[in-house]
Structure 1
């Protein structure tokens, strides 16, 4: 197997593993349209440019901040979201190019 195929398989497995958790999948879906899916009252950054603050995500899902951070970190490791620090807060935004690439690779692999 070629080295690039191994990397692609590893990327796909990581993304699928991250998406196998229903809450992580839901979070990624909600991040597609932040203004519609989150109460962004008090947001300190543009959710379309920078992303949604963990505190806004936490308010939506009602889980502990540590749990939300762990879910978002898993999505980030899989390359599905990007994290940006704004002051002491971390904001998450979908990586649309990476998601499209993974979907295309999944289509080719299956």
Structure 2
């Protein structure tokens, strides 16, 4: 029997919820999500509220570029962030809708 958690108009299966919680289970990924709350803070000229660039994530966390790429891939695959390439920079934003729905689902389940 498959149990579904109702989240807004869509339903997340347990495997999807597990992927989200697995992504949230890493300290560096939690730090990245916290950093992404502050959009428009990139040091790249012309930055605005399009998100945070990978270069600043790398410098603020003092992690290597491949490590940042891995963490961002996990967050993207879980649906927690979106990514857009602008010029030579990769920009990341939080998926606020999913984060709100996840918070609501957890609050209603507990």
* TM-score > 0.5 by shorter chain: yes
Pair 1:20 & 2:25 matched: yes
Q: Whole-Å Cα distance in 2 between the matches of residues 44 and 68 of structure 1?
A: 23
Where is the helix percentage greater, Structure 1 or Structure 2?
1
Q: Whole-Å Cα distance in 1 between the matches of residues 103 and 73 of structure 2?
A: 20
The unaligned stretches of length 5 or more in structure 2 are: 6-10
- Quick one: structure 1 residues 43 and 66, their matched pair in 2 at CA, closer, same or farther if it must change by over 3 Å? farther
Supply the RMSD in Å over aligned alpha carbons.
Answer: 2.1
Alpha-carbon offset, residue 43 of structure 1 = 3.9
Is the contact made by 1:43 and 1:53 (CA closer than 8 Å) also made in structure 2? no
| Aligned pairs, number | 105
Alpha-carbon offset, residue 13 of structure 1 = 1.2
Greater relative contact order (Cα 8 A, min sep 6): structure 1 or 2? 1
Aligned ranges 1:1-110 → 2 under 5 Å: 1=1, 4-5=4-5, 7-35=12-40, 38=41, 40-46=42-48, 48=49, 50-110=50-110
Q: Whole-Å Cα distance in 2 between the matches of residues 4 and 85 of structure 1?
A: 34
TM-score of the aligned structures, taking structure 2 as reference length: 0.81
TM-score of the aligned structures, taking structure 1 as reference length: 0.81
